[in-house]
Structure 1
Amino acid sequence: MTVQVVLVHGIRTSATMWRSQVEYLTARGNPVRAVDLPGHGARMSEGFTLESAFAAIDDAVRDAATRGPVLLAGHSMGGLLCIEYVGAEEPPPVAGFIAASCTAIPRGIGLQTYRFLARRFDALPDRGMWLTNQVLDRTLPAETRPDFGAGGYAFDTQDLALRSLSVLDLLAALRRIDVPLWFINGQYDQLRVNERLFLRLAKHAELVVVPRTSHLVTAMRPQVFNALLEVALATLEAPDATREAPDATREASDG
């Protein structure tokens, strides 16, 4: 059966951030669904709760699972939510999992500092969009630059969503994940702080670090990320596929 792919975006952005991956997967012949979480993208008018976010992910996964094995990929906040989701006590129908730019525990002083900075940024006259655009213009390639904000920015949801993440029990969830798992981080990603702990706790995990790349690894290096999607898909498609993925760290090529 053909591997189905579900993609979950990070905070403030939307399903449009995955356009490069959707194009790649569609051309490859893998059905793909990029989810808009509540309060984001096409669901901007809705309130964000953890329950509604998990429901959005679960609806997409269970629908895809009726047609084949599911590869779930989440970025940043979406990745954190997906760790909790895949590592539930009653596992969902996920055959493989990519957790991108999300190897940090969202609580304590780190989360408080992030929320403080986000609130200060949001308090700027243009909600920080001038600076945001300057950074994105200088770091994202032309092929993905329009995609990142095409679905709008969830300014009003950001602080609530960040606060909600503090109740996630990611360490317990990681211990329960029993499918092939790839952690993908940019070399300069600020959320790499707990990557070694996450790698140690997950049974079948591999860590891939993409050189010269920031937190926005999917958009900054789309060809590399798509190549890593290919690795995951090939693993799930192999006739003798096993859940025993090697515990290893890799540095992605610059191709």
Structure 2
Amino acid sequence: MESKESGLPLVFVHGTRLSGTMWRPVIRAVGERHPTAAPDLPGHGDRRGEPFSIPGAVAAVTEAIDALGGRAVLVGLSLGGYVAIATAAAHPDRVLGTVAMGCTTLPRGAFGAVYRGAAWLAARNPQRADRLSAFAFRRALPPPQARAMVSGGLSCEITPSIIKAVSEMDPTALLFAYPGPVWLVNGERDHFRRHERLFLRACRDGRLVIRPGCGHLTSLTDTADLTRHIRDAATVVAARSHSSSIPEGVR
């Protein structure tokens, strides 16, 4: 389904230790129909070395929205999905819709402990962790997607503060605070699916999309299919925006 409305801005939000370059294949596939941005979050990419926080990440995304005209659809994967949800709750007037991928788990308890342990190990030897991450991307993804993941640099040293910040979030409360449309998009094999039904119930206007055969990273493999989901979301948002701009008496 392709929107006849052109120019609806899209802001892409990257995952942990990555940068905005991870979205290059998708942005190319989206084409020139939509203005796009893929900002680096604090501690990542061109902002490596800065401390990470959820408010700082929200500010980075909001700046990107404002640079595209002040309103946009957000698309985020993993950490990017959590940040997109937080941005939507903080600035519902700026966020037209949210596509939150691979971020429907509460990173607490035993699950959170595993990730805190992995983050601590990564931060102890970030150069080695960066190399292992790059190797994992090359094994899991086709060459164009793998190159996009690493071309902006990796920042494994920032992972402990990210895990701490995300574990202190209440994403279900943030989803409930946002009145706009939300797409929770998970790969069928994604380990971050654990609480997807809880997240869906928290949405005031939500839908759950399961992509067969995909995992957490491999959800990026089929760029055409992923782009279709994003365009479908943009179509819905554009149609709603057009409808709400028509006076009731003329509908």
- Assess same fold via TM > 0.5: yes
- Percent pairwise identity: 31
Partners in 1 of 2:224 and 2:112 — Cα distance?
31
Instruction: Check the 8 A contact 1:98/1:184 in 2, yes or no.
Output: yes
Q: Which one-letter code corresponds to 1:95 in the other structure?
A: L
The one of 11, 15, 19 aligned to 1:10: 15
- Residue in 2 aligned with 1:102? 103
Q: Within 1, Cα distance between the matches of 2:52 and 2:240?
A: 40
Q: Structure 2 counterpart of 1:51, which letter?
A: P
Q: Which runs of 5+ in 2 are unaligned?
A: 1-5, 245-251
Structure-to-structure mapping, 1:27-46, within 5 angstroms: 27-46=31-50
User: Is residue 63 of structure 1 aligned with residue 67 of structure 2?
Assistant: yes
C-alpha distance in 2, partners of 1:165/1:98?
18
Q: CA deviation at 1:163?
A: 0.8
Give the Cα separation in 1 of the matches to 2:69 and 2:201: 29
CA distance in 2, matches of 1:117, 1:51: 24
Which amino acid is 1:202 matched to?
Answer: C
- Superposed CA RMSD in Å reads 2.2
The answer for unaligned runs of 5 or more in structure 1 is 244-255
Q: In the TM superposition, what whole-angstrom CA distance separates every residue of 1:74-125 from its partner, at most 9, and x where no partner exists?
A: 111111122122123x634111110011001133332221110233355569
Q: Secondary structure at the match of 1:11?
A: coil
The offset of 1:12, in angstroms, is 0.6
Give the Cα–Cα distance (whole angstroms) in 2 for the partners of residues 108 and 47 of structure 1.
Answer: 25
Q: What amino acid sits opposite 1:142 in the alignment?
A: P
Q: How far 1:129 moved relative to its partner?
A: 4.5
Confirm whether residue 51 of structure 1 aligns to residue 51 of structure 2: no
Task: Note if contact 1:104-1:193 (Cα within 8 Å) is conserved in structure 2.
Answer: yes
Deviation at 1:159, TM superposition (A): 0.8
Please give the alpha-carbon distance, in whole angstroms, between the structure 2 residues aligned to 1:107 and 1:56.
Answer: 26
For 1:8, the aligned partner's letter is V
| Superposition map of 1:34-183 within 5 A | 34-66=38-70, 69-88=71-90, 91-121=92-122, 123=124, 127-129=128-130, 131-183=132-184
- Distance of 1:195 and 1:165 partners within structure 2: 16
Residues 40 and 126 of structure 1: is their aligned pair in 2 closer, same or farther, counting only changes over 3 Å?
closer
Q: Name the SS for the 2:66 alignment partner.
A: helix
Q: Is the 8 A contact 1:145 1:219 kept in 2?
A: no
Partner of 1:246: none
Q: Tell me, what secondary structure is at the counterpart of 1:143?
A: helix
CA distance in 1, matches of 2:218, 2:243: 27
2:28 maps to 23
Question: What is the match of residue 185 of structure 2?
Answer: 184
Distance (whole Å) between structure 2 residues aligned to residue 18 and residue 175 of structure 1: 27
Match for 2:26: what amino acid? Q
TM-score (normalizing by structure 2): 0.86
Question: Which protein has the bigger helix share?
Answer: 2
TM-score (norm 1): 0.85
Give CA-to-partner distance per residue, 1:110-148, whole Å, 9 cap, x none. Answer: 222111023335556952355434432232012212111
1:211 aligns with 2:212: yes
